[in-house]
Amino acid sequence: MSSIPSFGVGTFRLTGQTVIDAVSTALELGYRAVDTAQIYGNEAEIGQAVAASGVPRSELFLTTKIWTANYSRSQLVASLRASLEKLRTGYVDLTLIHWPAPGNGVELPEYMEALAEAKALGLTRQIGISNFNIALTRQAIDVVGVGEIATNQIELSPYLQGRTLAAFLKEQGITVTSYMTLAYGKVLDDPLLARIADKHQATVAQVALAWALQLGHAVIPSSTKRANLASNLLARELVLDADDMALIATLDRNGREVSPEGLAPVWD
Binding positions for substrate are 98
Cross-strand bridge partners of residue 124: 92
Q: How many C-beta atoms surround the C-beta of residue 245 within 10 A?
A: 14
- Cα separation of 22 and 232, whole Å? 13
The strand order across the sheet containing 175-179 reads 9-10, 33-35, 61-66, 92-97, 124-130, 149-155, 175-179, 218-219
- Cα separation of 85 and 81, whole Å? 6
- Cα separation of 268 and 264, whole Å? 11
The SS3 call for residue 97 is strand
Binding-site residues? 98
Catalytic residues: 40
How far from 261 is each of 180, 209, 264, 265, CA to CA, in Å?
18, 28, 6, 9
Tell how strand 92-97 and strand 61-66 pair up.
parallel
